[in-house]
Structure 1
């Protein structure tokens, strides 16, 4: 059986509750359900069961202490043609190290290197093509002062993503504690 996989960090309820009020006021936005809030460490793609087991064994070896994170702004991807809006994670060297270790594990298993710069974020909505830049900039301006309280990350997960009608559904396939 093939699974579409990614490694990520779950967003705690107390932080998610500060994101939900921003999910309005932008026509053409398909807002993400609360249960989909996460910070991606590394998108992996489709893997067979044997490859998934190999990945799990490799990622299980990652050792790192818990990380304190916070969200410190909102933004969007897509420059002139925005396709999603998000809350950005405040710069964290520890998070970058963890993402780098996930990247290294994937490369050791023969996965192509990630070519995009790592920009940790929580996706709030995917946008329909007809959404214009001006409306997205106005939404961003309304939430420009957003900052979350710090939160402790003491584990990360291997998620599977299942697409259907409406938003994707994510299942936790494995859990990896951060214990140092």
Structure 2
């Protein structure tokens, strides 16, 4: 079984800018800059044969390159925040690409949960409750002005997620270029 997901990798300029935000936090466990991404579909643990079938379908997914914009920061988890994320503005091309990926996953028998799509890049995970001082510091960082450049998306990637005591490591299994002129919907 391979734990996997389909996502959009961040370009270096965006990862570096978001790294500045991480450096200012001093709370939680930062996601390594090489692991920063936007998840289109978390696939869970799947047999290799299912991922091979999915790969064949993802190779046929057509979508144009797009530009994404960051729209702020949010702590997810309500009164017990579990992570800090950089929010990505939702746009029709991103929604359409996600829908195509999810349809491909369903087609090979992967049962994905129904959930509202909140595009984001996870920056830091919090292991437990934040102290009031940590929460104030995180909120202060969230309000600080770190300019993150627009994100030109030219490919999506099928990733393997390997869990270890220091956190997850993501390895690209295959990438799928987005094609200029491809229909967005």
The TM-score, its normalising length taken from structure 2, stands at 0.89
Asked if 1:158 is matched to 2:158, the reply is yes
Identify the residue that residue 86 of structure 1 maps to in structure 2: 85
Unaligned runs of 5+ in 1: none
Normalising by structure 1, we get a TM-score of 0.92
Q: Alignment length, in residue pairs?
A: 179
**37 and 3 in structure 1: CA distance in 2 versus 1, 3 angstrom threshold:** same
Give the 5 Å matches for 1:80-159: 80-132=79-131, 135-136=134-135, 138-144=137-143, 145-159=145-159
Superposition deviation, residue 26 in structure 1: 4.2
**C-alpha distance in structure 1 between counterparts of 2:46 and 2:90, whole Å:** 31
Q: How large is the Cα RMSD of the aligned pairs?
A: 1.7
Aligned with 1:168: secondary structure? strand
Query: Any runs of at least 4 consecutive aligned residues in structure 1 with deviations exceeding 3 A, and if so which?
Result: 24-28, 132-138
> CA offsets, 1:47-70, max 9 Å, x none?
112111101011111101101112
Specify every segment of 5 or more residues in structure 2 that has no aligned partner in the other structure, as ranges: none
Greater Cα shift, 28-37 or 129-138: 129-138
2:11 corresponds in structure 1 to 12
113-122 or 152-161, larger mean C-alpha shift:
113-122
**Is contact 2:27-2:134 (8 Å) kept?**
no
1:28–1:127 Cα contact (<8 Å) kept? yes
- The structural deviation recorded for 1:140 is 2.8
Bigger shift: residues 160-169 or 143-152 = 143-152
Residues 112-147 of structure 1 deviation map (CA, whole Å, 9 limit, x = unaligned): 232221111111111021314774354234332445
Q: Distance in 2 between matches of 1:34 and 1:115?
A: 28
CA contact (8 A) 2:4 2:42 kept: yes
